[in-house]
């Protein structure tokens, strides 16, 4: 498990930037962050020389103009420049490739993306880059007030759930946040049409008891008290785990959902698991922290693209 102490905030020169800078200020306030990068990715725009000759003001590199604009915005809205190393960066090139290269070279361990609920924007870049970046990723919408007082961890008893729980505990120690957990289980009842509604209810009860025992083993493996972090066990009847997590989070006034996620390849794409992908959707406005194993992700990508 890595500390979340080398942070990158992705800026896009919209109203969202002000919110992301404020949220980054809160994160720095609540954690042991050492350095924070504010990054804007600029598409290459090569104008013909004859046009540039008629507009001398355009001869100044646009990256420099934008950098000054971003530095001014960060100076105005980021309140911890005296206590943490801060760098504003404008990079040119293919956005996804440039972002991934920057993340790897600077050993970023937490990337902050905006998730626009009311503001205009497609959110295509985060969706494209999330599976490929080795850093953990937090997605926050502009409708959220910056606070982390209650964290919910998705548990599936995997190695990545262990990493997510350890990271949640670390974050809880910084913020004082209350921790809760949720495990969603499935019963392949559709494969057994002879089972009645009563049979399904009995299976639910048995699966809940089984999950409770698994959670106890999971927590003891981490040398944690299962009673200290209560876990809910929900029946995922319609195979919509992300919806169950989100609605449970809303009902319980959760400020952050944490999920450990592995990447996998599917045809020509590299993707996150389905639950992580769906929690990152725009309409789900609880912040989501997708926790990754940096070494595992880098090893997977190197093997895949070698």
pLDDT 10s digits, 132-189: 788 899 999 888 889 999 999 999 999 999 999 999 999 999 999 999 999 999 887 6
**For residues 288 and 257, is the Cβ–Cβ distance under 8 A?**
yes
Q: What is the model's pLDDT at position 238?
A: 85
The whole-angstrom separation of Cα 133 and Cα 118 is 26
Is residue 306 domain-shared with residue 196, that is, in the same domain?
yes
pLDDT higher than 90, residue 9 = yes
The pair of three-digit structure tokens given for residue 111, joined into one six-digit string: 């990337």
pLDDT higher than 50, residue 254 = yes
Mean pLDDT of the chain: 83
pLDDT higher than 90, residue 237 = no
Lowest mean pLDDT among 1-15, 34-48, 236-250: 34-48
Is residue 156 domain-shared with residue 235, that is, in the same domain?
yes
Domain stops at, among 123, 146, 169: 146
Domain stops at, among 119, 146, 173: 146
pLDDT higher than 60, residue 6 = yes
Q: pLDDT for 186-196, tens place per residue?
A: 887 655 566 67
Higher pLDDT, 59 or 82: 82
Residue 74's contacts (CB-CB under 8 Å, 6 or more residues apart) are 21, 38, 81, 86, 88
Closest CA relative to residue 23, chosen from 143, 202, 107: 143
Q: What is the model's pLDDT at position 305?
A: 45
Secondary structure (3-state) at 79? coil
The whole-angstrom separation of Cα 160 and Cα 292 is 7
Q: What is the model's pLDDT at position 121?
A: 53
Is residue 70 domain-shared with residue 213, that is, in the same domain?
no
Task: Calculate mean pLDDT across residues 68-73.
Answer: 91
Q: What's the CATH code of the domain at 195?
A: 3.40.50.620
Is residue 163 domain-shared with residue 124, that is, in the same domain?
no
Q: How many domains does the chain have?
A: 2
Q: What is the model's pLDDT at position 200?
A: 79
**For residues 31 and 2, is the Cβ–Cβ distance under 8 A?**
no
Higher pLDDT, 285 or 47: 285
pLDDT grade, residue 32 (50/70/90)?
confident
**For residues 220 and 226, is the Cβ–Cβ distance under 8 A?**
yes
Is residue 178 domain-shared with residue 287, that is, in the same domain?
yes
The whole-angstrom separation of Cα 54 and Cα 45 is 17
Closest CA relative to residue 74, chosen from 135, 139, 23, 137: 23
Is residue 7 domain-shared with residue 141, that is, in the same domain?
yes
Is residue 1 domain-shared with residue 140, that is, in the same domain?
yes
Is residue 173 domain-shared with residue 127, that is, in the same domain?
no
Is residue 81 domain-shared with residue 114, that is, in the same domain?
yes
Residue 71's contacts (CB-CB under 8 Å, 6 or more residues apart) are 88
pLDDT grade, residue 220 (50/70/90)?
very high
Domain coverage including residue 190: 147-306
The whole-angstrom separation of Cα 188 and Cα 252 is 28
**For residues 72 and 96, is the Cβ–Cβ distance under 8 A?**
no
Closest CA relative to residue 181, chosen from 158, 156, 206: 156
Domain stops at, among 95, 120, 146: 146
Beta bridge partners of 88: 38
CA angle 211, 164, 98 (to 5 degrees): 140
* pLDDT above 70 as % of the chain: 80
Q: What is the DSSP letter of 254?
A: -
Q: What is the model's pLDDT at position 167?
A: 94
Q: pLDDT for 93-126, tens place per residue?
A: 777 788 888 888 999 999 999 887 645 555 566 7
What is the pTM (predicted TM-score) of this model?
0.86
């Amino acid at each position: 498990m890595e500390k979340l102490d080398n942070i990158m905030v992705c800026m896009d020169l919209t109203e969202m930037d002000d919110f992301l800078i404020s949220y980054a200020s809160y994160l720095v306030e609540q954690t042991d962050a050492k350095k924070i990068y504010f990054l804007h990715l600029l598409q290459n725009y090569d104008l013909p020389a004859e046009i540039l000759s008629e507009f001398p003001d355009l001869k100044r590199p646009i990256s420099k103009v934008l950098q000054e604009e971003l530095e001014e915005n960060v100076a105005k809205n980021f309140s911890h420049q005296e206590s943490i190393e801060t760098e504003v960066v404008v990079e040119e090139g293919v956005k996804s490739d440039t972002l991934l290269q920057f993340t790897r070279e600077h050993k970023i361990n937490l990337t902050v993306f905006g998730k626009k609920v009311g503001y205009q924007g497609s959110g295509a870049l985060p969706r494209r880059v999330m599976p490929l970046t080795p850093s953990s990723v937090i997605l926050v919408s502009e409708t959220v007030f910056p606070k982390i007082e209650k964290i919910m961890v998705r548990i599936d008893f995997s190695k990545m759930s262990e990493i997510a729980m350890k990271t949640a505990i670390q974050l809880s120690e910084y913020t004082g946040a209350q921790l809760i957990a949720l495990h969603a289980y499935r019963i392949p009842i559709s494969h057994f049409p002879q089972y009645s509604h009563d049979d399904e209810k009995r299976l639910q009860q048995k699966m809940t008891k089984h999950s409770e025992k698994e959670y106890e083993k999971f927590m003891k493996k981490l040398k944690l008290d299962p009673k200290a972090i209560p876990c809910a066990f929900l029946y995922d009847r319609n195979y919509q785990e992300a919806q169950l997590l989100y609605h449970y989070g809303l009902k319980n006034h959760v400020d952050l959902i944490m999920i450990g996620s592995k990447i996998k390849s599917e045809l020509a794409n590299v993707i996150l698991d389905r639950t992580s992908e769906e929690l990152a959707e725009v309409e789900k406005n609880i912040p989501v922290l997708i926790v990754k194993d940096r070494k595992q992700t880098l090893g997977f990508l190197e093997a895949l693209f070698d």
